[in-house]
Amino acid sequence: MSDETFSLHPIGTIATPFRTLDECPRNGRQPDPPPLCRVRLLPEFAPGLKSLDGFSHLILLYWLHRGRAPKLVFTPPFDTKERGLFATRSPARPNPIGLSVVAFEGIEGGDTLLVRYLDCLDGTPLIDVKPYLPSVDAEPQARMGWLGPHRTR
């Protein structure tokens, strides 16, 4: 295993109505209707939003700065069997990187993205923004492992 290190630097901050980990929705899909959230980029990164209009969805990467310590094997809250961390979407990760596909509602003030379907705390550091491309980001035939259609909730 390599002992290489690297650093990440936030490019902005995410504003959501969620103040505690217990308030955060699973995978951004619980509240109905989903709240409008704001993703404000630092001024030096705002020019990178050029040409984002016209996309309906974005991929946001963020740092789960208040996450819990990871357990490599645990029983998910909605399951009865132990699962390996990497077979789950638990936010408690060795590197707490969050990812959400969000509905993109527009840009406010030249530096703030308006989005829905986020699942992170207010004040979460933003790492990156990418346009969601259904032609390459969607895999309609993907299998869901232990979470597949045979599962009863």
Q: 117 in a domain, yes or no? A: yes
- Supply the CATH number for residue 72's domain: 2.40.30.70
Global pTM exceeds 0.85: yes
Is 112 within a domain? yes
Pairing state between β 57-63 and 97-108: antiparallel
Taking residues 129-149, what's their average pLDDT? 89
In which domain, by residue range, is 64 found?
16-133
Tell whether 26 is covered by a domain: yes
Tokens of 152: 């009863």
Contact in structure between 119 and 25 (CB atoms under 8 Å)? yes
**Residue at 151 is within a domain:** no
The tally of domains found in the chain comes to 1
Structure tokens at 24: 């955060």
- pLDDT, tens digit, 9 for 90 and up, residues 96-126: 899 999 999 999 999 999 999 998 999 999 9
Residue 46 lies in a domain: yes
Q: Cβ(23)–Cβ(133) under 8 Å? A: no
How do residues 55-92 score in pLDDT, each as one tens digit?
999 999 999 888 778 889 989 888 899 999 988 888 88
SS3 60: strand
Q: What share of the chain is helix, strand, coil (3-state, %, to 5)?
A: 15, 30, 55
- In this prediction, what percent of the chain has a pLDDT beyond 70? 93
